[in-house]
């Protein structure tokens, strides 16, 4: 004797209604599981985000201030050299000054 027989005695008498009820229960079971999963994700969201951030720091650590400054200086130097190369034909004096500026770093 199942729980549905106690709750719905008519359902046990009519096989068609029992099949319909079991179909509804069968469809509701995955929805209930998804609801529980969503609830667990909402409850443990801060912890999961912290673990994700820690894993990302292990994979790609943040650059130090000196590393950021060095990469910014390199990028600026390459930009100045590119501008100097563009100006080489039209204004050689300006290109030479830009190259000297880029060489200083």
- Tens of pLDDT, residue by residue over 54-80, are 999 999 989 999 999 999 999 999 999
- Mean local confidence (pLDDT), 32-50: 95
Hey, where are the domains in the chain? Answer: 3-58, 63-104
Whole-angstrom CA distances from 102 to 28, 68, 71, 88, 91 are 68, 18, 14, 14, 17
Does position 2 have pLDDT exceeding 70, yes or no?
Answer: no
57 near 85, Cβ under 8 Å?
A: no
Alpha helices in 44-91 (DSSP H): 45-59, 65-87
Q: Give CA–CA dist 86/81, Å, rounded.
A: 9
Whether this model's pTM surpasses 0.75: no
Query: Which pLDDT band holds residue 83 (cuts at 50, 70, 90)?
Result: very high
Question: Which residues are within 8 A (CB) of 83 and not within 5 positions of it... i.e. 6 or more apart?
Answer: 98
């Amino acid at each position: 004797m199942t729980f549905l027989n106690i709750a719905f005695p008519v359902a046990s008498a009519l096989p068609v209604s029992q099949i319909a009820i079991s179909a509804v229960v069968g469809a509701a079971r995955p929805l209930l599981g998804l609801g529980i999963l969503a609830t667990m994700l909402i409850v443990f969201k801060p912890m999961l985000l912290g673990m994700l951030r820690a894993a990302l720091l292990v994979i790609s650590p943040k650059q130090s201030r000196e590393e950021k400054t060095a990469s910014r200086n390199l990028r600026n130097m390459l930009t100045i050299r590119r501008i100097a190369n563009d100006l080489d034909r039209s204004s050689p004096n300006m290109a030479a000054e830009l190259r000297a500026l880029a060489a200083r770093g």
